[in-house]
Structure formats: C-alpha cells, structure tokens
Amino acid sequence: ERNSKYYNYTLSVNGKAQKHGADYSKDYLTDVLANMSLDFLQYKSSYQPFFMMVSTPAPHSPWTAAPQYQDSFNDTRAPRDPNFNVHGKDKHWLIRQAKTPMTNSSVEFLDDAFRKRWRTLLSVDDLVERVVKRLEVRGELDNTYIFFTSDNGYHTGQFSLPLDKRQLYEFDIKVPLMVRGPNIKPNQTSQMLVANVDLGPTILDIAGYNVNKTQMDGMSFLPVMEGKLNSSSWRTDILVEYEGEGSNVSDPACPLLGPGVTECFPDCVCEDSYNNTYACVRTVAPSVNLQYCEFDDNEVFVEVYNVTADPYQLTNIAKTIDQEVLERMNHRLMMLQSCSGQSCRTPGVYDTRYKFDPRQMFTGHSWRLSRLRQTMK
C-alpha cells in the first residue's frame, strides 16, 4: 500500500540502490519489472532449470495507470452483488459500524478506485504477454510452469465497507490462482482447496524435491493439476487467520472513534482495529461448504456461514446452528492452529494425532491455544 509506487522510487538491484524518476518510458514500475524479467530470461543459462518470481505493485494504491490506459474502463463500476451496500447486522462490531447506506461520495470513490485498479492491470497483462512470448520464442514455453496469483482479496462496498481487505469474507480471502504447464490440461478448474502455503511445496515438487522431507505445512497441488488425485485424499479445510491493526492515537479526522482503530476512510468508516483478530476454518467438501470464524476479542465473537445456501454471506448462523457442529469446527480450528509440518499435510489425521481431554477442550478457546504456542516459541 504505502510502499507501492509506480514512479519516483528506488529499487535495490543486487544490493545497489537504483533511483527512478517520473518518465513513463524509463520509470513506470510495471514495465521496468517486465524489462528486467525479459533480461533475466535472455541472459540466464539455457541448460539449467530456473525460477523467476515477478511481483508488481499493481493494482495497489495509488493506482497510477500507464498513460495509454488512463481512459480505459470509463463505464466500469464495482460489482453490485447482493451484499453490496447492505448493513452487516449480525456481524462483528467492526462491520456493524459501517454507515449504511454509503454516501454518494463513498460510492463514487469506490467505483473510481475499482476503475483505476483495472487500468493498472492492463500493464500487468502486457508484462504477462511479453514474458510468455519470450518463453515461446526461446522454445521454453512447453517445459515451463507459469503461476498467476495475487496477494489478497479486496472489497469495494460489500457490507457498506467502502474499500480495503482484512475481513474474513470470501471477497477478501479468495485470490486468483491460474497455472499452465507440462501435463496440465487446458480449461479445467479444480474445486479442491489450495492456500498460499501450498505454493512452496508445489514448486519444490516440480523441481523434483520430496516435499515430505521438509517441515512445510502446505501440500503440493501438482497431482491435483495433473488430474492424478481423487478428492478423498485431499484436504477439506484450510486455516484463515488475521491479526488486526490499530492506532494508539485517535484519528484527527475522526475524533469520535477514539484509539484502537485504523484505515477510517472515507466517511470515518474504519476498516481495521486491534480486535479485528480472527481465525477461521474454511471447509469445502462434496457435501459441505462452510466457514467458521472466532474473534480474539472480549466476547469471543463467532461467525458461521453456510456458503452453499448463502454465497454472499448475508446471514451469520452461529446462534442457530447445531451446537455439535460448532464444537466440531472449534476442534478443527484448534487442530489447524496447532499442527505443523507433516501433521498439517495428512487429511483426517488430526483427530487421532491430538489427544485432548474433551472436558477441558471447549472451556479454553482456540485463542488460548494460539497464545500458548506464541509463548512457547
């Protein structure tokens, strides 16, 4: 965010500072990264395997588009999904504090941000095209895997939160992931759950390294992409965690809010707070599509969504759902928070691996367990 710049920045190139100004042809960061990537492909050894990672600032703020793209998407606006500009009445207090309906100026602001972000991505499209073409010209495309993903989701108006990330809902936790490469059939989509922790093991697997020799929590999804795996041997749950950020002093623009919150813009709607700290289990299996979340706050607030029946997460069913399901999800969350390495990778092993005394289990919340782990580190 604050460190994303498209012009007037300094890069560290092999430890040497390289200053850039504001000339589009020489300094626009997305294009500079594209040129550096093409140079790398040009001058690397042709006989050795290679790994290249390119991270663009786009589409982070300040959303500076390349000059030729500044008028694209002029009629585009943020999606008006069923959760757009509605009050999250049964949600965590941070969501409930959003002003509903949003002011016209907030809606204009988020629509404008949405357009600007799309415009910055047109230069990312150019980068991808140039890299793929260079690999093709060099005869390397057919034996190279290309992963396309991003760092986090983003919202624009859902539950009347103008724009940011940091929330537990699908629109903030889902990220795109597309892969092409040897033995991957085109135009296929997998419903199996993959998380950021799986990228490392997958890349090691492609390089021929045995992931079981590592202490990584993730799993290689190479067999998933190659169609060599049935879903029963893959996980059905992933862990989603976030630690809230806040400010120790009140925002001068929003004095009524007091300290502890942050990102209160526009209209003094805060996007984050110290106790916006949560852990969730996201479950996707043939018969269930659930999300269970606990907040680390005074009330240990719980949110639960049946994503099959309620894909836009309008209704928190924590108070109406069967107690047994809640306890099972809470148990699952404890397992995912306390596993490490191999014990995270083996589906279904958790319940036998950990011998909790059930009488103690639900008196102490998962948070107590994670606190314990932090003190042990």
pLDDT reported for residue 286: 86
pLDDT reported for residue 369: 52
| Distance between CA atoms of residues 198 and 345, nearest Å | 10
Burial class of residue 273 in the structure, from the number of CB atoms within 10 Å of its CB (0-12 exposed, 13-18 middle, 19+ buried)? buried
- Quick count: other Cβ atoms within 10 Å of Cβ 238? 20
- Is residue 115 assigned to a domain? yes
- Is residue 42 assigned to a domain? yes
pTM of the model: 0.90
Which three-class secondary structure state does DSSP give residue 101?
Answer: coil
- Is residue 355 assigned to a domain? yes
- Is residue 162 assigned to a domain? yes
- Is residue 17 assigned to a domain? yes
pLDDT reported for residue 318: 97
| Distance between CA atoms of residues 25 and 20, nearest Å | 11
- Conformation bin of residue 210: beta by default, left when phi > 0, alpha when psi is -120 to 50: beta
- Is residue 5 assigned to a domain? no
For 131-135, which contacts have Cβ atoms below 8 Å and span 24 or more sequence positions? 131/34, 131/37, 131/38, 131/41, 131/54, 134/38, 134/41, 134/42, 135/41
The residue ranges of the chain whose pLDDT is under 50 are: 1, 349-364, 368, 372-373, 375-377
In eight-state DSSP terms, residue 56 is -
- Is residue 290 assigned to a domain? yes
Neighbour-count burial for 178-209, b at 16+ CB within 10 Å, e otherwise:
ebebeeeeeeeeeebbbbeebbebbbbbbeee
The residue range of the domain holding 311 is 10-376
Question: Which run of H or E residues covers position 352?
Answer: helix 350-353
Convert the pLDDT of each residue in 171-228 to its tens digit. Answer: 999 999 999 999 999 999 999 999 999 999 999 999 999 999 999 999 999 999 999 9
**Number of independent structural domains in the chain:** 1
pLDDT reported for residue 352: 37
pLDDT reported for residue 259: 94
pLDDT reported for residue 202: 98
Look up the CATH number of the domain holding residue 340.
Answer: 3.40.720.10
pLDDT reported for residue 49: 94
- Is residue 3 assigned to a domain? no
Tokens representing 56? Answer: 């663009």
Tell me which amino acid residue 8 is.
Answer: N
